[in-house]
Amino acid sequence: MQEVSPRLLDLSVMEAHRLTELEAVVEKNLGAFLRAAEALLEIRDTQLYRATHRSFERYVQDRFGVARRTAYGWLEAARVHSTVHSQAQLPLSHLRLLAPLPPDEQRELAGEIDAKTLKEARQVIARWRSSRRAVLEQLPEPAPLPPGRFRCIVADPPWLFENNDRGYPGSLAADQYPPMPTSEIAVLPVEEIAADDAHLYLWTTNRHVPDAVEVCRAWGFRYVTLLTWVKPGLGLGRYFRTSTEHVVFGVRGQLPTTPNISNWFSAKRSRHSKKPACFIELVERATPAGPRLELFAREPRPGWTSWGNEVALVQQGVAS
């Protein structure tokens, strides 16, 4: 038994009882990974391991002899199962294949791979990805940037990922939209349509933060700070499980923000690349002055000028 540090937090009687119940479930169901994963997920999310261990990873290793990679694989599979169980009852291997995909895509593909071998399931997903990319290749070239002098600009560029951490050929993001190299994003003439006093909110992934700062400067803004979207739950990643996404905030001229607004917000994930409504609410509070422009928009937004391939298709009635 690991020595208990005085800084570790005691459990209440009710919590200790619940921990005993959940540990019994894990021990009884190590072969039935879904029930074990659901129990482990509750232990981790409620930190019921904290009386004896500082980390969940060390806890599962010491208590059940389960390696960190295996435990997190079970947790990923349990999340996928909760999303697709009405479509199909999939084995662990198939659930792990679907784990990197957004929930809508998981549900779409679950029934198609239900009765397939692992090799066949991989082929089904590969064909689905190829068909998605073929559709995206037919998108028209973006229209010129809209005329105007915008004081508030939000941008969500399709950053290019050269590879990914899950063994899929090419970036998973490329299944959702045509990616752009940083050099192409940087040369967009945003500086020409930004007001002399303006704010820029530039979405970026953790990997692309340095690129986003470079783009911010190329667009004529000085980098000021990062805003952070905190996403509840376990994310993906090789070195750390990433549960955040960032916004590079840049300023041109001397336009202030509304005082006393925090630089982080918490919201659940939705479909791939879709940003939470609370972000736009934050922007409109922090930068009440217009006109407002959203670059690489996915849908029209009241009170905003929207630009991008996806919003153009929506406006033409081609997409929803």
* pLDDT score, position 143: 77
SS (H, E, C) the chain: CCCCCCCCCCCCHHHHHHHHHHHHHHHHCCCCHHHHHHHHHHHHHCCCCCCCCCCHHHHHHHHHCCCHHHHHHHHHHHHHHHHHCCCCCCCHHHHHHHCCCCHHHHHHHHHHHCCCCHHHHHHHHHHHHHHHHHHHCCCCCCCCCCCCCEEEEEECCCECCCCCCCCCCCCHHHHCCCCECHHHHHCCCHHHHEEEEEEEEEEECCCCHHHHHHHHHHCCCEEEEEEEEECCCCCECCCCCECEEEEEEEEECCCCCCCCCCCEEECCCCCCCCCCHHHHHHHHHHCCCCCEEEECCCCCCCCCEEECHHHHHHHCCCCC
* pLDDT score, position 230: 92
Block means of pLDDT (10 residues each) for the chain, 320 residues, are 55 88 72 76 88 90 86 81 78 81 83 86 84 64 85 93 47 57 93 97 94 97 96 73 91 95 87 80 94 91 87 50
* pLDDT score, position 284: 96
* pLDDT score, position 164: 47
* pLDDT score, position 313: 53
